[in-house]
Structure 1
Amino acid sequence: MCGIVGAVSTRNIVPVLVEGLKRLEYRGYDSCGVAVHQGGELRRTRSTSRVAELDTQIAQDGVQGGTGIAHTRWATHGAPAVHNAHPHFSGKRIGLVHNGIIENHDELRAELQNKGYVFESQTDTEVIAHLVHQLYDGDLFDAVQRATTRLKGAYAIAVFCRDEPHRVVGAREGSPLVLGVGQGETFLASDAMALAGVTDQIVYLEEGDVVDLQLGKHWITARQADGSFERVQREVRTVHAHTGAAELGPYQHYMQKEIFEQPRAIADTLESVAGIMPELFGDGAHQVFKDIDRVLILACGTSYYSGSTAKYWLESIAGIPCSVEIASEYRYRDSVPDPRTLVVTISQSGETADTIAALKHARGLGMAHTLTICNVATSAMVRECKLNFLTHAGVEIGVASTKAFTTQLVALFLLTLTLAQSRGKLTDAQEAAHIKALRHLPAAVQAVLALEPQVIAWAGEFARKENALFLGRGMHYPIALEGALKLKEISYIHAEAYPAGELKHGPLALVTSAMPVVTIAPNDALLEKLKSNLQEVRARGGELYVFADSDTEIKSEPGVQVIRMPEHYGALSPILHVVPLQLLAYHTACARGTDVDKPRNLAKSVTVE
């Protein structure tokens, strides 16, 4: 959950490193730093401020050089403080940045302390720097290879040495790292986006790879099962990173921009969908879909809620049993594997460590049919799964996911229709109706976005609260969960979500006039039940904020505020109803003055377990 940039060049590379950090800051912003080879020594500048402030500090310190490494951090070991910020040095010889968690750091720390190494931080990263230093014998590449064989856990590292001024060595295991090939210069980064405008020639390093960067050349070795390393060739791909997508334009925050990009993101995701067919999910999907009897969805956070919504679709429309598991829990319990299961992973980045680990665990149990729904074509998740569907949400910078979530739902609905067709449960007329509804979805979302002024009025009330309840029923219960998550992520208001029928089983004890209750009220089969739940809240003096379809006959009155949705949208209603919840969270956070795009303690891409 940290961002890495490194470079070997003949020019002053510091501006490239800093610009890369700015593009990766969504991955972590507890602290940041840059180190370069300058005047025969290693020099660094570190800060617990944001990258913009680091840039100013670098200029004041006069840090510049052609070989360097840089890092923006999300803290795992050690509080956000300058002495815990990367890059970490071992003596004045080795400099290193790291993304991941080293599980055997205590054992290595004790070993290195016994050899005289003094630790200046509480991080697991400093252990790697001292280990490389201890193994260094004039060849940095060899020292890093040997060091990686001692590490247990997940890591992406970039290392350089005072004694080798035109060399950076990188390695990865469980955390993403890419190599950028330029004209007479080479680069490392956590994400190709960090190198946009510098090079579009990208190599995606694989698990166990160690890469040697020098002026205008590189080579890669892969760790073998016996711990040895063999030289390998990795494909150099042309990757056009979306630099324009990272510009705010007229918006105040990236989250606001991304909320309003949802009609376009949905349209882009549907652009290549002419009809329902297995080939939407890759070659061989037709046979895979014939060979399965059930679906297992593995995901975390917002992606887990999209999977929970899809469970309702898959079971009601496709008639196929579906279970949804939190990826971080799935591989640590005894489960009953079934080889006729389609294992579906969902991830915006495609690098979510827990989800990748859960996928590998499922495969290890004999479930070989795998499919991922992901927003990044070059991600580890796409490479790990046999089948995939790429959402086209574009770059999402805000930590609180919005357009990635709605495009995931679109993809999952397409999967539902495809499985229904494979199982003989989708007529031509039904397919045509669903395709028509999907095609209209961008316009329908645009109409919901027009409700923003009404939502802003509510946000002023919510900004003064410290707790909130969210209620939904059926396939809108996961949407209530997502709404509560958004509110707590960026406004720091404690929010919980419940199936509305569960109110009387405990949560009703919390309801007072100080506890706003947000309710999703579509005109579906559960509407009358939901109205009874709303009366339970009103009878206890609770304040209701209801997002209601126009024909629900729920009216505004004292204690009940209603925002009417433009239209009822049937099975796709969850996609529409989540949009005003995103807006409510966003404007509440703005009213409270929180850092919307970079909420405290959180990072965008969760690449550590």
Structure 2
Amino acid sequence: MCGIIACIGSDDAVGELLTGLENLEYRGYDSAGIAVQNGSGIAVRKKAGKISELKDTIARDVSNGTIGIGHTRWSTHGPPTDKNAHPHTSRTERVAVVHNGIIENYEAIRRKLIAEGYEFRSETDTEVIPHLVEYYIDQGMGVEEAFKTTVGELDGSYAVALMVHGTDTVYAARQDSPLVVGVDDGRYYLASDVPAFLDFTDEVVYIENGEFARVRPNELVITDRDGNVVDRDVETVEWSAEETGKGQYAHYMLKEINEQADALANTIAGRIGEDGTVELEAFPPGTFGGIDEVEFVACGTSYHAALYGAQLLRRAGIRTYASLASEYDTSTVSDGTLVVAVTQSGETADTLTALRAAQDAGAETVAVTNVVGSSAAREADHALYIRAGPEIGVAATKTFSSQVVTLALLGHQLAEDLEQGRPREDAAEFFEELRKLPDHIATVLETTRAKEISEEYFDKKSYFFIGRDNEFPVALEGALKFKEITYEHAEGFASGELKHGPLALVTEETAVFALFTGQNGRETRKNAEEAHTRSADIVAVATDGTDVGEFADNVLWVPKTHPDLAGLLANVQLQLVSYYTADLLGREIDKPRNLAKSVTVE
């Protein structure tokens, strides 16, 4: 869960590396560094801390050059210290490396190298790479052969970029960690993610698992494990540098909350026919005719979207399950199983592992993702894009809404394709309200009292979020958002479970957010009243016109809509409560402690 960047053929390698690192900081932000070929050696500057605090220190006294590599770190092996920051260098400092991923057999390689007289200066797994490359160079190998031989010894996941003093080339390899090349008229950029170089180019080439890249000014060569040259098309990405900036907002998270109306409009565009049919560009009618059951695999916010989607599919008569990707069991997979991997980035390690296991077990697979060309999109049998636009804030916001709506559309097609499916009897009403959803979200954003609510309750000790049916995944998501960015104790429950244990935690220091979005309101009201009689403060999140009774101390209203969609409006209110509470508490909202945006390690 780190970010790497390389510049080849640049007139300002230092400046472009630092820009790339700032653009990648959502992938890791506990240390950063760069290495630049400056004609007299490889100049390395690295330090623990945020890039914004280190920019001057990193760049100071570094002669500019045309080739360089950089890294922003989220620690896995070794704490965030200056020594553990990347780039890492070999014994003679003629080899420099940046790496994203985990080298699982690094201890064995480290022992081997120590026995050969190599000394290690960090606690990281990455440091074995430059030492091992230098070891093979000392054995008489050329740089490229030494690099490929080293990579062949690595077990685990990696996107690695390496340069050697005296050459004008960056060597790179990829296995289960993302790596993309930016192309700009003879200049090249290697990075973990496209936003790293969007300031410079929108032309990209994707590196696949098991492939190597040799990059020098005016030359990009990609080869497979056997050394065969791979011919890969240059693609144009749709995101712009402006889209990945904060604009007028204090934080990316607030910007992305406010972008939800536009994101959902993009998600829906062209996918609902005038006659109420669903028209998914990747799936002509009948695509899923042989499917017996559907299994969702996902992590974090995407898992909550999967839970929401699974409930919609079950109502349509389709046997559907949602599993945490890290806990996924393929024992129920058969030829009639469709496994849907839900992942914003398309690079989530646990989800990719589950996707591959499902394929090995014989399942048909679909990736529901936000990133064109991502690993999940390329590896699954089908890709369905949520089209939410770039999301930089670590805490997912607009992508949750777009994931749920995309899964609802997919569910409708499955109900049409599958013999056991039951298409909606209220399809006309549902799709009419779905078209209105962006406007309803805009209304929530314009009328919300979330900041006022946050000011009233920001000093509570515990925060509970409760709901039933499709409100339950929203309650889980509300609690996750709250704990992610406020660092306060927050939990989400199915409303009925409150009395089966969690009620013991309720005191006058508890705030309970209870969801009332058109279904099961009577039952949730009983559960909220149980908490209220035990001195908890109750904030109802309710559709207009709902009778929440006298037990609710405050109400956050959302426009009346179809019950299957109202949870998405409630979720916007909860996102805003989390944001404003975190702001009042002075938290690092876009970069919460211990977390990174793209979880590319298991």
TM-score by length of 1: 0.95
Corresponding position of 2:44:
44
Cα distance change, pair 508–427 in 1 and its aligned pair in 2 (3 A): closer
Establish whether residue 450 from structure 1 lines up as the match of residue 446 from structure 2. Answer: yes
1:602 to 587, 595, 598: 595
Give, in angstroms, the shift of residue 334 of structure 1.
Answer: 6.0
Give, in angstroms, the shift of residue 279 of structure 1.
Answer: 5.4
Corresponding position of 1:395:
390
2:538 to 530, 544, 557: 544
2:557 to 553, 558, 564: 564
Corresponding position of 2:548:
554
- Percentage of pairs with the same residue: 41
Superimposed CA distance per residue, residues 354-389 of structure 1 (whole angstroms, 9 cap, x where no aligned partner)? 11110000111111x111111111111111122222
Give, in angstroms, the shift of residue 523 of structure 1.
Answer: 2.5
Corresponding position of 1:361:
357
Whether the 8 Å contact between 1:182 and 1:216 is mirrored in structure 2 is no
Superposed, 1:277-356 pairs within 5 Å as: 280=280, 282-283=282-283, 285-316=284-315, 318-330=316-328, 333=329, 335-356=331-352
Q: How many residues matched?
A: 596
Q: Which amino acid aligns with 2:3?
A: G
Q: Provide the C-alpha distance between the structure 1 equivalents of 2:105 and 2:480, rounded to a whole number of angstroms.
A: 33
Q: Which amino acid aligns with 2:496?
A: G
Corresponding position of 1:72:
72
Superimposed CA distance per residue, residues 475-529 of structure 1 (whole angstroms, 9 cap, x where no aligned partner)? 11010000000000000011111111111110010010001111111231x1111
Q: Which amino acid aligns with 1:37?
A: Q
Whether the 8 Å contact between 2:222 and 2:229 is mirrored in structure 1 is yes
1:243 to 241, 244, 267: 241
Give, in angstroms, the shift of residue 239 of structure 1.
Answer: 2.7
Whether the 8 Å contact between 2:31 and 2:49 is mirrored in structure 1 is yes
Give, in angstroms, the shift of residue 247 of structure 1.
Answer: 2.1
Give, in angstroms, the shift of residue 139 of structure 1.
Answer: 2.4
Cα distance change, pair 173–376 in 1 and its aligned pair in 2 (3 A): same
Give, in angstroms, the shift of residue 240 of structure 1.
Answer: 4.4
SS in 1 for 2:426: helix
Q: Provide the C-alpha distance between the structure 1 equivalents of 2:166 and 2:150, rounded to a whole number of angstroms.
A: 18
Give, in angstroms, the shift of residue 63 of structure 1.
Answer: 3.8
Superimposed CA distance per residue, residues 293-315 of structure 1 (whole angstroms, 9 cap, x where no aligned partner)? 11000100000000001111001
Q: Which amino acid aligns with 2:546?
A: T
SS in 2 for 1:551: coil
Q: Which amino acid aligns with 1:394?
A: G
2:155 to 149, 152, 156: 152
Range with greater deviation from structure 2 (65-74 or 7-16):
7-16
Whether the 8 Å contact between 1:45 and 1:61 is mirrored in structure 2 is no
1:141 to 126, 137, 144: 144
Corresponding position of 2:185:
183
Q: Which amino acid aligns with 2:44?
A: R
Q: Provide the C-alpha distance between the structure 2 equivalents of 1:200 and 1:552, rounded to a whole number of angstroms.
A: 48
- Which blocks of at least 5 consecutive residues in structure 2 are unaligned? none
Q: Provide the C-alpha distance between the structure 2 equivalents of 1:347 and 1:531, rounded to a whole number of angstroms.
A: 34
Superposed, 1:571-590 pairs within 5 Å as: 571-590=564-583
Give, in angstroms, the shift of residue 435 of structure 1.
Answer: 1.9
Corresponding position of 1:533:
527
2:584 to 591, 599, 603: 591
Q: Which amino acid aligns with 1:12?
A: D
Q: Which amino acid aligns with 1:326?
A: L
Give, in angstroms, the shift of residue 288 of structure 1.
Answer: 3.5
Give, in angstroms, the shift of residue 10 of structure 1.
Answer: 5.7
Q: Which amino acid aligns with 1:471?
A: I
Corresponding position of 1:103:
104
Corresponding position of 1:161:
164
Whether the 8 Å contact between 2:202 and 2:240 is mirrored in structure 1 is no
Whether the 8 Å contact between 1:523 and 1:551 is mirrored in structure 2 is no
Corresponding position of 1:520:
515
Whether the 8 Å contact between 1:451 and 1:580 is mirrored in structure 2 is no
SS in 1 for 2:189: strand
Q: Provide the C-alpha distance between the structure 2 equivalents of 1:321 and 1:96, rounded to a whole number of angstroms.
A: 48
Q: Which amino acid aligns with 1:465?
A: K
Give, in angstroms, the shift of residue 277 of structure 1.
Answer: 5.5
Corresponding position of 1:269:
267
Whether the 8 Å contact between 2:463 and 2:490 is mirrored in structure 1 is yes
Range with greater deviation from structure 2 (190-199 or 38-47):
190-199
SS in 2 for 1:378: coil
Cα distance change, pair 383–42 in 1 and its aligned pair in 2 (3 A): same
SS in 2 for 1:545: strand
Superimposed CA distance per residue, residues 569-597 of structure 1 (whole angstroms, 9 cap, x where no aligned partner)? 32111211111010010000000000100
Give, in angstroms, the shift of residue 207 of structure 1.
Answer: 0.5
Superposed, 1:416-427 pairs within 5 Å as: 416-423=411-418
Cα distance change, pair 565–238 in 1 and its aligned pair in 2 (3 A): closer
Corresponding position of 1:469:
464
Whether the 8 Å contact between 1:93 and 1:162 is mirrored in structure 2 is yes
Q: Which amino acid aligns with 1:508?
A: L
SS in 1 for 2:528: helix
Give, in angstroms, the shift of residue 129 of structure 1.
Answer: 1.6
- Which blocks of at least 5 consecutive residues in structure 1 are unaligned? none
TM-score by length of 2: 0.96
Whether the 8 Å contact between 2:136 and 2:146 is mirrored in structure 1 is yes
SS in 1 for 2:346: coil
Range with greater deviation from structure 2 (455-464 or 32-41):
455-464
Q: Provide the C-alpha distance between the structure 2 equivalents of 1:112 and 1:280, rounded to a whole number of angstroms.
A: 54
Q: Which amino acid aligns with 1:140?
A: V
Give, in angstroms, the shift of residue 426 of structure 1.
Answer: 5.9
Cα distance change, pair 260–132 in 1 and its aligned pair in 2 (3 A): same
